[in-house]
């Protein structure tokens, strides 16, 4: 085989690109890299300098730290939405309760807003008895069950929506007071109404 046959695979304007060395008879053309590839390579080098300095020298936030910050922001957004929608946040309630005398504050809120229907000590009048184990509007004596009743009310049972009148803190206080009434014996307590929520 002559070199002329090998040259058959080369275009006329490519012959000057053939490198001097060969590997097992394979010749290599000295084609330059595409300009777009070279451009990307240069940009990546330029980008890597501030990237390295920010993350490895200046201690910039990595993926984990960024994720934690994003989740914190999401929690704040969810909390704000919950406030707008009147959704009960049990952790927020527990925090408030740990920093306030909920029962004492709740007694005042109860006297000013709830006494006319539920009577002194929660014994019941127009509204039901709040001290016994029979309840109409809640399936359990828990904050998660009681808060929506206070906040949104139960129109069919005559319970007004106090969320339109009271602040969240006042509703927390009223709820703490109502929960504390369990098992108490107010004077002239009303007869049981509703279902037994203490499943024995």
Locate 146 and state its tokens.
């009681």
Q: From the first residue on, what is the mean pLDDT of each consecutive set of 10 residues in the chain (200 residues)?
A: 48 64 71 90 95 87 87 83 71 93 95 93 91 86 90 88 91 94 88 79
Q: Which tokens hold the place of 39?
A: 């451009």
pLDDT of residue 98: 95
CA 111 to the chain's CA centroid: 35
Predicted TM-score of the model (pTM): 0.57
Report d(CA 71, CA 66) in Å as an integer: 9
Return the pLDDT at 139. Answer: 80
pLDDT of residue 157: 84
Q: Can you state the angle between helices 90-99 and 143-152, rounded to 10 degrees?
A: 90
Distance in angstroms (rounded) separating the CA atoms of residues 11 and 15: 7
Q: What element of type H or E holds 47? A: helix 35-52
What does the pLDDT read at residue 112? 95
Domains of the chain: residue spans and CATH: 3-31 (no CATH), 80-196 (1.10.760.10)
- For residue 78, the model assigns a pLDDT of 76
Spatial CA neighbour of 131 closest among 178, 173, 62: 178
Which pair of structure tokens corresponds to residue 88?
């009960």
Residue 141 is given by DSSP the state: S
């Amino acid at each position: 085989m002559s070199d002329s046959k090998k040259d058959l695979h080369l275009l006329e304007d490519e012959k000057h690109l053939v490198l001097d060395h060969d590997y097992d008879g394979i010749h290599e053309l000295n084609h330059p890299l595409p300009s777009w590839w070279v451009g990307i390579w240069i940009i990546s080098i330029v980008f890597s300098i501030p990237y390295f300095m920010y993350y490895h020298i200046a201690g910039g936030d990595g993926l984990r730290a960024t994720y934690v910050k994003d989740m914190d922001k999401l929690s704040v957004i969810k909390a704000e939405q919950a406030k707008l929608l009147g959704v009960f946040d049990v952790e927020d309630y527990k925090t408030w309760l740990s920093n306030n005398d909920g029962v004492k504050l709740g007694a005042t809120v109860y006297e000013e807003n709830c006494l006319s229907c539920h009577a002194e000590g929660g014994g019941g009048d127009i509204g039901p008895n709040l001290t016994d184990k029979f309840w109409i509007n809640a399936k359990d004596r828990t904050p998660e069950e009681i808060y929506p009743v206070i906040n949104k009310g139960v129109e069919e049972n005559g319970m007004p929506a106090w969320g339109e009148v009271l602040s969240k803190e006042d509703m927390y206080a009223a709820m703490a007071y109502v929960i504390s009434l369990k098992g108490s014996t107010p004077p002239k307590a009303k007869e049981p109404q509703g279902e037994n929520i203490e499943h024995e």
